[in-house]
Structure 1
Amino acid sequence: MAESVADLRADGHTDWREYGPLELPPILAHSLDAIVEHGYHGTSVRDLARRVGVTVPALYYHYQNKQAILVELLMGSLTTVLGRCRSAVAEVGDDPVERFSALVECVVLFMTHRAPLAFLDTEIRSLEPDNRARYIELRDELESLLRDAVRDGAEVGVFTTPVPVDASRAVLAMCQAVAQWYRPDGPLGAQEIAERYVTIALAAVGHRP
């Protein structure tokens, strides 16, 4: 299997807020485009090989099958956003409001700057059982970062939501949905959207300054 590049590594960033152009190996780049356009099941290995400009056996030399390509993209995407979220939490420290705000900002920035990759989360249904279990385990860690921040804030009274677990889950789903509608040529930039979502998310957990 091809070595993961910086865009698919948890430690591939120097600043969790900064993003360059998305750079993937040709097979992954063309596979991402095809799956976003036609869905996983609507994309054939032959179509992927044609897009990359190689033979089907050459494609299989790098990846065992189409499922392996999907796993590389999905796990790489989740690993990347989780790595950035860990960096965000480490930067702001223990304050629950700062942690929560940084996490929301971090997730939304990923959803905007890496929208095609983030959009692939809808293809979790296409993962085989073992791969799906691995993906969900990693996604649970991301959810726990938000959940812990909301719980800690509720305990000290800066968040007033009576349902911190449900509130954190709802906030994460709201942030992830950005990838479905965001367009780089839209009226708001990625940072502006992230800041607005922090405001919305703080209201959702009943933030009391």
Structure 2
Amino acid sequence: MPRFVQVFQDTCPTLTFSSGWQGGSSETDASLDRYSQGTYTFTKQADETMTMAFNGTYVGIYGAKRPDHGLYQVELDGKLFPTFDAYSDTPLFNQTLFNATSLDYGLHTIKLINSGSTTLDVDYVAFQGITGKSEEALIPATWQDNEFTFSYFPPSSWRQSARPGTLSASTGTITNDPKATAEFKFKGNFLLASTDEAPQVLTVVDS
């Protein structure tokens, strides 16, 4: 079956953070641009957690190892792994904090736990999924928000983003209307819908 790797940035709502986490800021961290897409989420409180559920055969959590970072644990499907250490006397970025390979394909839940009052941060999480049938090839296709495959209702509630340079192909359609909807018609096994606040959100649909 075709396999694909999906990346969730720390800002993606698929990642559930407990209350003691906050976003990194360039005002307090000159190394913010060393993180993927210039964002990360961190905590300095013990027992704070980040949780994610996914369907796949591989999962990896990525973040930094820095002088003020420390011990943490990971729980996968109820199994608690031995303590890991994110301390490094030299700042290191895009580091693998944890990964698990060769998982049985299906629904899994992973939890990251800060073990003490030292810093722990999350840059992004990646997992490998499976879609389609064994004889099929994975054929990706991309449609931008301004193509005919999208419909916006009501049209008067939608407008072009004022920050096009931060978006794919420098285009994005936005709304502040809680009742507004967007419709995208496609034929396939899965859909990746990307926004500036929740990049690369995965929605699995029936074949």
TM-score of the two chains, using structure 2 as the length reference: 0.25
TM-score of the two chains, using structure 1 as the length reference: 0.25
Higher helix share goes to which structure? 1
Higher strand share goes to which structure? 2
